[in-house]
Amino acid sequence: MCVFFLTNYQSHRAINKELSSVCKTMALIHGKKLIIVFLLILETSTYQAMSRTLLEDSIVGRYQQWMAKYGRNYKDDAEKEKRFELFKVNVEYIDKVNNEGNRTYKLSVNEFADLTTEEFIATRTGYKISSQPTSPKTSFRYENLTKIPMTMDWREK
């Protein structure tokens, strides 16, 4: 900071001019630093936005190739967008696992890449996920039988 108190104004006039000049120079340098920092932040955010756009374009291209390969057609744009988002999440997971490099296997995109885990389980394993709570069911045939003899000779039957 350039705060300087002088008791004798006339005797220190040259020093005041010099300090004023130094203060102005420091302000300019500080201003230039702020501009440089601002430009760096702007450049970084631009780079991130562009890299996201390039990544998004890459995934869109992969999705279109995948749709052509597996003959996917959706009933409307909303369904297509939903499936694209699922595809994107699944591809990001596949890429993350493969890039870790600590596995003896590699994952790849297959015909199930636009399904959730629940959808895959329900359609491929025969398991049906119910949204309603199930009541306990018994498979005992004579559950409600009321007239039971105390003894019975099964040889006579």
Give the tens place of pLDDT for each residue, 4-59.
444 454 545 656 566 666 666 766 676 677 677 666 676 665 655 554 455 667 88
Does some domain include residue 98? yes
Determine the average pLDDT of the residues in 150-156.
Answer: 84
Answer whether 0.75 is exceeded by the pTM: no
Does some domain include residue 26? yes
Model pLDDT, residue 121: 87
- The C-alpha atoms of residue 87 and residue 75 are separated, in whole angstroms, by 17
**Domain hosting residue 25, numbered range:** 13-124
Does some domain include residue 147? no
Is-contact 23 2, C-beta < 8 A? yes
What are the structure tokens assigned to 150, written together?
Answer: 């105390």
Does some domain include residue 136? no
Determine the average pLDDT of the residues in 82-94.
Answer: 94
Is-contact 4 19, C-beta < 8 A? yes
Is-contact 25 15, C-beta < 8 A? no
pLDDT above 70 for 133: no
What's the distance, CA 39 to chain centroid? 28
Is-contact 91 113, C-beta < 8 A? yes
Question: For residues 56-76, b (16+ Cβ closer than 10 Å) or e, as one string?
Answer: eeebeeebeebbeeeebeeee
Is-contact 90 66, C-beta < 8 A? no
- Provide the residue type at 3 as one letter: V
Looking at residue 97, which CATH number applies to its domain? Answer: 1.10.287.2250
Does some domain include residue 144? no
Does some domain include residue 90? yes
Q: pLDDT over 90 for what percent of the chain?
A: 34
pLDDT above 80 for 79: yes
Q: Biggest alpha carbon distance in the chain?
A: 137
Does some domain include residue 84? yes
Does some domain include residue 117? yes
Determine the average pLDDT of the residues in 60-71.
Answer: 92
The more confidently predicted of residues 141 and 83 is 83
pLDDT above 50 for 122: yes
Averaged pLDDT of the chain: 76
